Amino acid sequence: MTRRRWMADEVTGNTAALVGEHAEHLARVLRAEVGQEFDIATGEEIRRGTITTISYDRIEFALGAKQHVTLRSAAPKITLVLAIFKFDRMDWAIEKCTEIGVARIIPVIARRTDAHLASAAVKRRERWQRIVRQASEQSRRSAPPVIAAPVKLKDIAGDGVLAPDALRVVLAESLAGSEGDTRLGEILQSHSSVDELALAVGPEGGWGDRELTWFYEEGWIAASLGETILRAETAAIVATALAIERLR
């Protein structure tokens, strides 16, 4: 039987711990017991972990042998530049893109982002970090994706997150079904050897004209996902899955 995997909150030598709500879920909901074994992701490797102490706000593990993980074929490092939209649907997109394999998510305050969502996004980051940790444990990733602090679009250019030679693609609804429509799949096929990819997905209604102009000036390539207009969360999931599959 496959052991459940947990992302350690603390690691010191051969000891790891889950703390706070993370520990409470395992202790109270899953009714963990001293002596139970799990796979523990330390941030560098996966090790066998045996529970030594339990409380509702802290569970400690004695770390044992390193676990041999079957490696999938190498996947590109994908950064998802995701415009902030309704939080319940954005939470779902973040969870599913984590399961698929995205490496980093940058929440962006776009022109069409509602003002109350923009102001609340900074506090929402902590919830997003919990979501990606839980989704990473469920999907047996070795580490969760990075959730960057919410920023304005113009500020992602100089934050050092995007590698200079990364392929950068912005999804533009204005292209869908038009004469100049270039599909994301076609772009990925012609850049199949790239190691890093940045995908920008706009809010409901898409990126504004000035935002698209900014992308083009910064060297981003415009693409669509087809003739139909997808909701933001659907576009993020489809684009991430397509990129993982085409570039692996």
| 141 pLDDT more than 90 | no
pLDDT at residue number 222? 94
Name which CATH class applies to 5-66: mainly beta
> What is the rounded average pLDDT of the residues 75-94?
93
pLDDT at residue number 169? 96
Contacts of 247 (CB under 8 A, 6+ apart): 75, 76, 188, 191, 192, 194, 197
pLDDT at residue number 174? 67
Is the domain spanning 77-247 CATH 3.40.1280.10? The answer is yes
Letter string b/e over residues 16-53, b meaning 16 or more CB atoms within 10 A of that residue's CB: bbbeeebbbbbbeeeebeeebebbbbbeeebbbbebee
The boundaries of every CATH 2.40.240.20 domain in the chain are: 5-66
Give the pLDDT band (50/70/90) at residue 241.
very high
Q: Which residue has the tokens 């509602």?
A: 114
> What is the rounded average pLDDT of the residues 110-132?
94
Between the CA of residue 29 and those of 25, 54, 67, 157, what are the distances in Å? Answer: 5, 13, 26, 43
Give the pLDDT band (50/70/90) at residue 154.
confident
pLDDT at residue number 69? 60
Nearest-angstrom CA–CA distance, 42 and 15: 10
Express each pLDDT in 16-60 by its tens digit.
Answer: 999 988 898 888 888 989 999 999 988 778 899 999 999 989 999
pLDDT at residue number 96? 97
pLDDT at residue number 160? 60
pLDDT at residue number 2? 66
Which sign, positive or negative, has the C-alpha torsion 184, 238, 140, 9?
positive
pLDDT at residue number 71? 46
Give the pLDDT band (50/70/90) at residue 1.
low
Q: Which of 147, 90, 92, 84 is nearest to 111 (CA)?
A: 84
pLDDT at residue number 223? 93
The boundaries of every CATH 3.40.1280.10 domain in the chain are: 77-247
Between the CA of residue 48 and those of 25, 29, 43, what are the distances in Å? Answer: 20, 22, 14
> What is the rounded average pLDDT of the residues 77-106?
96
